[in-house]
Structure formats: structure tokens, C-alpha cells
């Protein structure tokens, strides 16, 4: 799991300059050479913004063993309002985060998280 600045494809960014095709190719090749899998996500397509530019920088990459171990592995991108509150409150918001995830899971019925 990580905060990766390179994109995999141009549709992971809106606004700003066009993504660097060499950087995208290198990152994609690194993922492929490492036998890693991006199993997708639920929620907002973009995980970072500065107001003019939005990008998907956060992703979970795993190998086949991870997918075999966790039969259900869903990555949930937080809504912007939830992530802002979580960042502002720091450790104090851990209960907020878990309550938010539980509420979303009940509402949508498909989001699962692991402690």
C-alpha cells in the first residue's frame, strides 16, 4: 500500500500538464516485473487534489499470495470530507474513521477493512 506519485495511465489525472509517458511506462513495467496486482478500489477515482489538479496517487498493490490469503480485499478511497476531518483531528479521529467505514459498509454493503 502506498502513495505513488507516478500514474499508470493518463485517465488517473485531470487538470494540469499531461502525465509523463515515460514515468507511466516505467511504473507500469515495475509493477509487472514485480508480479504485483492493482486490484482496484471503491470510491473517488482521485485521491489527491490541489484544487486545479486531481490525481490518483494512493493505491494498493499486492501479489497473488495476498489475493489468495484475503478472499475479499476491497480498497476504499475516503470521501474528501471524511479524509479532511481525519487529517485535521489526527489520532483523535480514529473512532471517527472506524465509525465512518462501518456506516459506509452498512450503506453500500461492499466495503471491508482490516485492522
Of residues 32 and 90, which shows the higher confidence score? 32
DSSP codes joined into one string, the chain: -EE--S-SSGGGEESSSPP-HHHHHHHHHHHHHTT-EE---BS-S--EE-SS-EE--EE-EE-HHHHHH-S----BPPPHHHHHHHHHHGGGGHHHHHHHHHHHHHHHS------
**pLDDT on residue 112:** 46
Q: What is the pLDDT of residues 18-31, one digit of tens each?
A: 999 999 999 999 99
Q: What is the pLDDT of residues 74-115, one digit of tens each?
A: 777 776 655 555 556 655 556 666 776 676 666 544 444 444
The structural domains of the chain, with segments of one domain joined by +, span 2-72, 78-115
pTM of the model: 0.62
The answer on pLDDT for 12 being more than 90 is: yes
Amino acid at each position: 500500500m502506498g502513495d505513488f506519485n507516478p500514474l499508470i495511465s493518463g485517465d488517473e489525472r485531470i487538470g494540469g500538464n499531461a502525465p509523463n509517458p515515460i514515468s507511466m511506462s516505467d511504473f507500469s513495467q515495475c509493477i509487472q516485473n514485480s508480479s504485483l496486482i492493482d486490484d482496484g478500489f471503491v470510491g473517488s477515482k482521485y485521491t489527491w487534489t490541489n484544487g486545479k489538479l486531481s490525481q490518483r496517487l494512493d493505491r494498493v498493490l499486492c501479489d497473488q499470495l495476498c489475493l489468495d490469503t484475503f478472499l475479499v480485499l476491497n480498497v476504499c478511497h475516503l470521501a474528501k470530507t471524511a479524509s479532511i476531518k481525519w487529517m485535521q483531528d489526527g489520532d483523535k479521529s480514529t473512532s471517527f474513521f472506524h465509525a465512518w467505514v462501518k456506516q459506509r459498509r452498512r450503506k453500500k454493503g461492499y466495503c471491508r477493512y482490516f485492522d
